[in-house]
Amino acid sequence: MENSNNTATRDTNPFDDPAGPGSEASPALDAAAVLTVDRNATLTLGTDALIVLDEGLKHKRGPGNCCGFLPQFTKTTRAIPFYNILWTELNDFDVTVRYAQPSGKQGCKVGYINYTVTDKSMHAHAKRWVDALLDRAYPSNVKRRKRIKVLVNPYGGQGQALKFWTREAEPILAAARCEVDVEKTGYRGHATEIAEKLDPAGVDVVACASGDGLPHEVFNGLAKQRNARRALRKVAVTQLPCGSGNGMSLNLNGTNSPSLAAVAIVKGIRSPMDLVAITQGEKKYYSFLSQAVGIVAESDLGTESLRWMGSLRFTWGFLVRLLGQTVYPAEISLVTHSSDKQGIRQSYRSAAQEQQNMAAENIPPYPEDEALLESAETDVPPLQYGTVNDKLPSDFETQDNPTLGNFYVGKMCWMSPDAPFFPTSLPADGLMDMVSIDGTIPRTTSISMLTSVEQGKLMDFGAVDYRKLRAYRISPRQHQSSQGLRAKMLKFLGGAGQQTEGLISIDGEKVPFEPFQAEVVPGLATVISKRGALYEYDMPREQ
């Protein structure tokens, strides 16, 4: 659960504090960093963690630090990374520290330690010490006690979302002293209505205890406000993963666990993120995750009759269509920024290195800019390339694809816990990543591609067209042989049931099988994330 920049995974000893013995300023720093309490115990502010030295401690010696405990060095010592500290307070002479501690294989719960300052003359020092611990736990670019509007989809996660919220996430936010207002959604589009009426001045974050459907609705609800641009800047959107598709949390929080995501939200930073403007027919709305035409959309939305298979239905549907070499003809027009895979990789690595350098120097990736938040600009930017109904601008290059197998565009990296489909995707680069694959390539190549996705190596295949786009238009059409005996058999095996036309998926939701156009709107939205300029993904090293 530790922060991606947290040094809890280091091999070094947390007692080796750079401000400790050996530096000229160490006596003063040591005195300010140490709080002596009852039971002959001390609480010390180390470099990266709160060090608890207490001969009365009784706890198991764990093999690792999945949620943040640093390796234990003696039976009387506990180290709690500052990232895990949720809140601390001094009541009279009692000091209480609440923090996230491991619970199960992939979760955490609220733990606490409580001590009494026995030396009454040290009350002022204890107060300063508590303030210093909060400063370490919440760096300058992390807002404390966030005001969070929680939207719970009670139907999400096979009806388990409310339980996930109540048992796993809510206690974390309460321990961190967040101001929380909870509302359950009752029907499709309800979150859009709530977000449209939301007062941006009264909330910092909208947290969706759901799958990816609610964040999609919230972004579009904020975009409908009278001062839409200001609403999208002031209100950060995030996800408590409680649904079947939790792509937003995987990318921004680095986890599929509601409790770990809650900690990531408490400790997360406000970050700008691009949205993708979609026009289809007379409608215009925004996408934050992905758009799919072809095998991915069909395997996701076209396997409803296989729900009894659980999470395996997508894989089964994918394999049936892949082995059947199913094609999804379409005309595609692109505004390409880059199709040079090596150059795309290098640009990503440069962005990642820049972020690491800033983290090493404790430079916030996105310092809070009140002037920007209060900007006079209130409307969302106009579409640069028009709508799907307009004449195609000259910027687009058009190609007919009669044997298209997969057309997949992402604004995030992770599409599922084991599928970093778009490894070079960045939150705010003004671009979207595209994968396009012909449906008639050899089956052995297709299977190799499928198994490469988990390692983030899909783009390495020569048969994969991987690009950075600014905009595109796609006009899908029904394949002429889709009604033949072979096609009907494949539909039956693949779970398509009575499906009579092709499928298009946008942010995991079905939309009409009609032409649509998409373009990136740079930095339009605001989210809560762990690293700001990067998603929670580390590209494999070059061989």
Q: What is the CATH number of the domain that holds 484?
A: 2.60.200.40
How does pLDDT run across 205-241, given as a tens digit for each residue? 999 999 999 999 999 999 999 999 999 999 999 999 9
Examine residue 163 and state whether it is found in any structural domain, yes or no: yes
* Tokens standing for residue 433: 């990543």
How does pLDDT run across 427-441, given as a tens digit for each residue? 999 999 999 999 999
Examine residue 448 and state whether it is found in any structural domain, yes or no: yes
Q: Are residues 349 and 455 in the same domain?
A: yes
Q: What percent of the chain clears pLDDT 70, i.e. is strictly above it?
A: 84
DSSP state at residue 69: P
pLDDT the model gives residue 131: 98
pLDDT the model gives residue 224: 98
Secondary structure (3-state) at 232: helix
Q: Is the pLDDT of residue 189 over 70?
A: yes
Residue 3's pLDDT band, with cuts at 50, 70 and 90, is very low
Examine residue 531 and state whether it is found in any structural domain, yes or no: no
pLDDT the model gives residue 22: 41
Q: Is the pLDDT of residue 5 over 50?
A: no
- CB of 8 closer than 8 Å to CB of 2: yes
Q: Is the pLDDT of residue 422 over 60?
A: yes
Q: Are residues 319 and 424 in the same domain?
A: yes
Q: Are residues 516 and 434 in the same domain?
A: yes
Examine residue 162 and state whether it is found in any structural domain, yes or no: yes
Average pLDDT over the chain reads 87
pLDDT the model gives residue 286: 99
How does pLDDT run across 303-351, given as a tens digit for each residue? 777 767 766 777 777 887 787 788 999 999 999 999 999 999 999 999 9
Section 294-298 average pLDDT: 90
pLDDT the model gives residue 16: 40
| Highest mean pLDDT of the ranges 6-20, 247-261, 476-490 | 247-261
| Residues in Cβ contact with 324 at an 8 Å cutoff, skipping those fewer than 6 apart | 486, 490, 494
Residue 26 neighbours by CB distance under 10 Å: 15
Examine residue 532 and state whether it is found in any structural domain, yes or no: no
pLDDT the model gives residue 371: 46
Section 261-271 average pLDDT: 98
Q: Is the pLDDT of residue 21 over 50?
A: no
Task: Determine the Cα–Cα distance for residues 105 and 358; give it in Å rounded to an integer.
Answer: 32
CATH number for 144: 3.40.50.10330
First to last CA, the chain: 29
pLDDT the model gives residue 64: 44
Boundary-marking domain end, from 100, 122, 137: 137
pTM: 0.89
pLDDT the model gives residue 374: 58
Residue 442's pLDDT band, with cuts at 50, 70 and 90, is very high
Task: Determine the Cα–Cα distance for residues 286 and 506; give it in Å rounded to an integer.
Answer: 9
* 147-152 vs 179-184, strand pairing mode: parallel
* 464-476 vs 504-506, strand pairing mode: unpaired
DSSP string, 396-434: -EEEEETTEEEEEEESSSEEETTEE--TT--TTSS-EEE
* Tokens standing for residue 376: 């006079």
Q: Are residues 100 and 165 in the same domain?
A: no
Q: Is the pLDDT of residue 267 over 60?
A: yes
Q: Is the pLDDT of residue 494 over 80?
A: no
Full residue range of the structural domain in which residue 158 is found = 140-267
How does pLDDT run across 119-140, given as a tens digit for each residue? 999 999 999 999 999 999 999 9
Task: Determine the Cα–Cα distance for residues 541 and 124; give it in Å rounded to an integer.
Answer: 50
Q: Is the pLDDT of residue 486 over 70?
A: no
Angle between helix axes 443-452 and 312-323 (nearest 10 degrees) is: 150
pLDDT the model gives residue 169: 98
Residue 56's pLDDT band, with cuts at 50, 70 and 90, is confident
Region of poorest pLDDT, from 93-107, 182-196, 216-230, 467-481: 467-481
Q: What percent of the chain clears pLDDT 90, i.e. is strictly above it?
A: 71
Q: Is the pLDDT of residue 460 over 80?
A: yes
Examine residue 543 and state whether it is found in any structural domain, yes or no: no
Q: Are residues 421 and 505 in the same domain?
A: yes
Residue 27's pLDDT band, with cuts at 50, 70 and 90, is very low
Boundary-marking domain end, from 267, 302, 318: 267
Q: Are residues 18 and 158 in the same domain?
A: no
How does pLDDT run across 385-421, given as a tens digit for each residue? 999 999 999 999 999 999 999 999 999 999 999 999 9
Q: Are residues 37 and 116 in the same domain?
A: yes
Which has the closest alpha carbon to 94: 80, 108, 113, 114? 114
Region of poorest pLDDT, from 56-65, 98-107, 534-543: 56-65
Q: Are residues 294 and 400 in the same domain?
A: yes
| Highest mean pLDDT of the ranges 154-163, 343-352, 481-490, 491-500 | 343-352
Q: Are residues 172 and 315 in the same domain?
A: no
Q: Are residues 289 and 437 in the same domain?
A: yes
Boundary-marking domain end, from 137, 167, 189: 137
Q: Is the pLDDT of residue 88 over 90?
A: yes
More confident site: 399 or 157: 399
pLDDT the model gives residue 505: 96
pLDDT the model gives residue 6: 37
Section 138-150 average pLDDT: 97
Which has the closest alpha carbon to 366: 186, 475, 230, 528? 528
Task: Determine the Cα–Cα distance for residues 55 and 42; give it in Å rounded to an integer.
Answer: 10
- Sign, CA torsion 362/367/368/369: positive
pLDDT the model gives residue 478: 85
Examine residue 2 and state whether it is found in any structural domain, yes or no: no
Secondary structure (3-state) at 367: coil
Q: Are residues 465 and 500 in the same domain?
A: yes
- CB of 286 closer than 8 Å to CB of 231: no
Strand order in the sheet with 41-45: 34-37, 41-45, 49-53, 77-81
Burial of 500 by CB count in 10 Å (0-12 exposed, 13-18 middle, 19+ buried)? exposed
How many domains, in total, are found in the chain? 3
CATH number for 23: 2.30.29.30
Q: Are residues 426 and 288 in the same domain?
A: yes
How does pLDDT run across 352-370, given as a tens digit for each residue? 999 888 877 777 776 655 5
Examine residue 181 and state whether it is found in any structural domain, yes or no: yes
